[in-house]
Amino acid sequence: MRHLLILFLCLTTVNSYSQDSTATTTPTKVKGTIVSASTELPLSEANIVNINQVIGTATNDDGVFEIKAKVNDTLHLSYLGYKSIKVRVTNDWLKFGDTKIQMTELALALEEVTVKQLELTGYLVVDMKQVPVTSNNRYRISGLPGQGYEAGKPNIATKVLGAIFNPADFLYNMFGRKPNEMHKLKKMKEDDEIRNQLAKRFDREMLLVLLQVTKFDLDEIVNQCNYSKDFINTANDLQILDAISECYEEYKVIKRSKDRSSAKKN
């Protein structure tokens, strides 16, 4: 009887430990209310992204949001005209529920912009040189995969192929150096809330946070992926995401082909 009691206590302890372990590792939801630090009024449609799990949401009319998260996940909060902040999920937050988060308003100043009109001379050869030429015209070849290519530039296969055979190439180094961040591209494309947020943004901030790259690196990736400066300057964040994702997928295909060729030679 004593042995049975000891066995029962051991099984109970193991089961309790198993449940506690599952509870600490299973993602749950955190709830918060975002308000303005100066007015204490709720901020509706503020953007919240869980950087670790690559999921997003937005606040309702009362500034309230709820998002799946676990301990030590980092939430990125942003709102137009306010300073973006990062908040780490703690045990207390998960335990006690709703918490109020203040965001500080940015002081926005408009810079003076000088618009210079074209001064035509009447001479066609001279005037043609003054007309700005955009280079973001794109064309698509029927039967070939992909969204299209920038006119007047080598195609993406040429760009990426050069990256594979030249280890010093920026694109190869960037994709090869950040495989975990690049793997987030698929999750970002699958999350409807993140896509909706990116479609309304042009500041690249959310992309920089999720991919853990600098603004210069992000622009350079898109440029090396055969997109023009005009596209980079005018595209919204969702278009930039799709451009990088498309380039990365083609990069992986060509890299696999190169690795197989190297394996056969060896």
> Would you state the pLDDT for residue 139?
42
> Would you state the pLDDT for residue 79?
94
Q: Which residue type does 155 have?
A: N
Label the pairing between strands 55-58 and 64-69.
unpaired
Do the beta carbons of residue 163 and residue 171 sit within 8 Å? yes
- Side-chain-side CA neighbours of 210 within 13 Å: the count stands at 27
The helix (H) or strand (E) run that includes residue 32 is strand 28-36
Label the pairing between strands 85-88 and 55-58.
unpaired
Positions in the chain whose pLDDT score sits under 70:
1-27, 108-171, 266
Point out which residues pair with 87 in neighbouring strands: 75
CA distance 241 to 210: 11
Of 247, 249, 201, residue with least CA distance to 221: 247
Task: Count Cβ atoms below 10 Å from residue 96 Cβ, excluding itself.
Answer: 9
Q: Which two tokens stand for residue 124?
A: 């066609």
Q: What is the mean pLDDT of the chain?
A: 75
Q: Which two tokens stand for residue 253?
A: 């295909």
Q: Which residue type does 259 have?
A: D
> Would you state the pLDDT for residue 194?
93
Question: 146-150: long-range contacts at Cβ-Cβ below 8 A with a sequence spacing of 24 or more?
Answer: 146/246, 146/250, 147/242, 147/243, 147/246, 149/226, 150/226, 150/227, 150/228, 150/231
CA distance 213 to 182: 10
CA distance 23 to 83: 34
Q: Which residue type does 246 have?
A: E
pTM for this model (two decimals): 0.66
For 250, residues 6+ apart whose C-beta sits below 8 A from its C-beta are: 146, 156, 157, 160
Q: What is the DSSP letter of 231?
A: H
Do the beta carbons of residue 36 and residue 102 sit within 8 Å? yes
> Would you state the pLDDT for residue 262?
75
Chain Cα centroid distance, residue 59: 19
Dihedral pair phi/psi, residue 87, rounded to 5°: -125, 130
CA distance 128 to 156: 31
The helix (H) or strand (E) run that includes residue 78 is strand 74-78
> Would you state the pLDDT for residue 8?
46
